[in-house]
Amino acid sequence: MVRPTMEDVALRAGVSRALVSLVMRNSPKVSEARRAAVLKAAEELGYSPHAMARSLASRTSTVLGVMVSDLHNAFFAEVVDGIDEVAREQGFDIIINTGGRSPARERRALESLLSFRPAGLILLSPVVPATAISKAAEQLPIVLVARSSRVSTVDTINDDGEQGARLAVDHLVSLGHKRIAHLDGGEGTQAGPRRRGYVTAMEAHGLTPQVVPSEYTDAAGARAIRSLIEDGALPTAILSCNDFNAVGAISALEDAGLRVPHDVSVVGYDNTSLAALRHVSLTTIDQPRAEFGRLAALALLQRVRDGRTEPVRHLLNPSLVVRNTTAPPGGPR
């Protein structure tokens, strides 16, 4: 239960502490023989440099903090993959913390990450107030993913929700649909752009938008469909605010004896792993998640290492993934 220090390694390798330090920092001015001896001793003792002491002494940090608002959402896992890939390449470590969807807990997570004095912070879809973010941004570089911000010291990476919705509408229209409803994400992140994209795309095609209030859950999607059926307002195609909502919608449609896509086409949004399940096989809009992560890490490193100060705003292009929940009205030929 005793963690070895440089001193121990030096002793074991029969060299000075300074030399161990040089080896650990990959200094070129160490003979191969000694380097090997030191590394061997370190290995035997299970020694690895004390990250905290190191960063304290070197006044630098090779750690990037990542705050994931909701660990339950696999969306973020792929973003983290992208971050991790770039960070590792560039010799940075990442530490992750989670906000559990609650602003209070997220605030704590932020505090906690900050207390490690990382080189920078990546916040994935944070729900804390903007003031908390801009305050933190005074202390270190921050990149926001899937949340926009006007704070000039903060970089943002988002997908173009308007374009995504447009892609979906264009796809449905090209299949021959004219009555296409949007199950709206309400207050949810990115619900606004998606709704706007839907409305403008419909109008561009000379069609009448039909926005149905809903939420980012499967239960809400089902409810929205039931209300449409009750009102006799069911269209031939549905654009859901996200995949969960779409799956709920499909479920309610099938409960009502309607077939997807024969009677009604459904498009989701996000291309979660759920959508790819053959049992679901949902046509949906894909966001380049790993790319989000890579760009976020790169943007952060530019600030950390190259001292960039002007903010960067990335708006990535989503893409359409056609699966088996969309077909021409009346069903596939």
Partner DNA sequence: AGCTTCCATCACACGGGTGTCAAGGGTGTG
Partner DNA sequence: CACACCCTTGACACCCGTGTGATGGAAGCT
Q: Which residues bind DNA (CB under 7 A)?
A: 3, 5-7, 14-19, 21-22, 24-25, 28-31, 33-35, 47, 49-50, 53-54, 56-60
Site residues for a second copy, 243-302, by CB under 8 A, read: 244, 247-248, 250-252, 254, 273-274, 277-280
**CA 148 to each of CA 119, 160, 301: distance values in angstroms, whole numbers, following the listed order:** 21, 11, 19
Residue 297 contact among a second copy, DNA, none, beta carbon within 5 to 8 Å by kind? none
Nearer to DNA, 29 or 333 (CB): 29
> 213 pairs with which residues across the strands?
184
| Strand pairing category for 319-321 and 284-286 | antiparallel
Residue 58 contact among DNA, a second copy, none, beta carbon within 5 to 8 Å by kind? DNA
Nearer to a second copy, 162 or 243 (CB): 243
Please enumerate in sequence order all residues whose Cβ is within 8 A of that of 42, keeping only pairs 6 or more positions apart, or say none. 9, 13, 20, 23, 24, 48
* 135 forms part of the interface with a second copy (CB under 8 A): yes
* 104 forms part of the interface with a second copy (CB under 8 A): no
Nearer to a second copy, 2 or 33 (CB): 2
* Dihedral, CA of residue 128, residue 165, residue 242 and residue 313, to nearest 10: -30
Please enumerate in sequence order all residues whose Cβ is within 8 A of that of 110, keeping only pairs 6 or more positions apart, or say none. 67, 97, 99, 121, 123, 126, 128, 132, 136
* 150 forms part of the interface with a second copy (CB under 8 A): no
Residue 39 contact among a second copy, DNA, none, beta carbon within 5 to 8 Å by kind? none
Sequential DSSP letters for 119-157: SEEEEES--S-HHHHHHHHTTS-EEEES-----TTEEEE
* 146 forms part of the interface with a second copy (CB under 8 A): no
- Minimum distance between the CB of residue 66 and a second copy, rounded to whole angstroms? 9
Q: How many angstroms separate the CA atoms of 244 and 250, rounded?
A: 10
Question: Of the candidates 52, 204, 233, 322, which one interacts with a second copy according to CB under 8 A?
Answer: 52
Residue 80 contact among a second copy, DNA, none, beta carbon within 5 to 8 Å by kind? a second copy
Q: How many angstroms separate the CA atoms of 312 and 300, rounded?
A: 10
Element (H, E) at 103: helix 103-114
Residues that bind a second copy (CB under 8 A): 1-3, 46, 48-53, 55-56, 70-74, 76-78, 80-81, 84, 88, 93-98, 100, 105, 108, 111-112, 114-117, 135-136, 138-141, 218-219, 222, 244, 247-248, 250-252, 254, 273-274, 277-280
